[in-house]
Amino acid sequence: DFAQLDAERHARRGYPEAVYCEGKTPAQVAAIAAASGGSGVTLFTRANEQHAEAVLRERPDAFHDADAGLLAWPPEPPAPSGGLVVVVAAGTSDLRVAKEAMLTARYLGRETELVVDVGVAGLHRVIAQLPLLRRARVVVVAAGMDGALPSVVAGLVPAPVVALPTSVGYGAAFGGLAPLLSMLNACAPGVAVVNIDNGYGAGHLAAQIAAPDPS
């Protein structure tokens, strides 16, 4: 009576519904975990410690990454298909959100790589990653503060860039507004913006972009 999981989503879209834990009680999350199963993996996102315990009591073998606030059951990700998803974190503080994106893409069936702390203040660091970035079917770039990295990366590679603004920063970063606006105004075309701190959305979108050709 408090939730109707969109069970048909997998049939309609090819990807299962995820359970967004914020704003749900641990008991509600546990009930959903107990009822889950059927086709494909169930992801629990933005799970705090209480949510995680509730899920693990029902599904003790679930995968859990506390940094990313993510659980997955069954714990084994599908065998990767489609293209490579490279996830880039501009700074160390963007790592949590970047991992949420990477794990989501992996559990939706893609091969993933993670690159950390390559912000534009020291440009040689991202340039050193060009061979990897050029192999990607899609690049996710998580950045806070000035949000300048997606523009720079998009200018260097043929793949589309999923720009993932983070709330890292203070003052006139206004909780992620500054990098969000930066990314929406990226002077290099080919930048797809998602919500602030929305690692799940970025990973899902990347998985769709890098999906194997249906034909």
Ligand X SMILES: Nc1ncnc2c1ncn2[C@@H]1O[C@H](COP(=O)(O)O)[C@@H](O)[C@H]1O
Q: Using CB under 6 A, which of 63, 73, 107, 200 touches ligand X?
A: 200
* Residues 19-48 close enough to bind ligand X by CB under 6 A: 19-20, 45-46
CB under 8 A: which stretch of 49-57, 58-66, 69-77, 205-213 binds its own copies?
A: 205-213
Give whichever of 77 and 190 is closer to ligand X, judged by the CB atom: 190
Residue 44 host element (H or E)? strand 42-45
Spatial neighbors of 146 by CB under 8 A, at least 6 apart, are 120, 178, 179, 182
What are the helix and strand counts (H, E) for the chain?
9, 9
| 25-44 binders of its own copies (CB under 8 A) | 28
Tell me the window of 46-54, 109-117, 130-138, 163-171 that interacts with Mg ion (CB under 5 A).
109-117
Residue with Cβ nearer Mg ion (3 or 184): 3
Note whether 147 binds its own copies by CB under 8 A: yes
Query: Cβ 46 to ligand X, closest distance in Å?
Result: 5
Cβ pair 106, 93 in contact under 8 A: no
Dihedral sign of CA atoms 144, 148, 152, 155 in order: positive
Give CB contacts under 8 A, 24+ apart, made by 6-9: 7/38
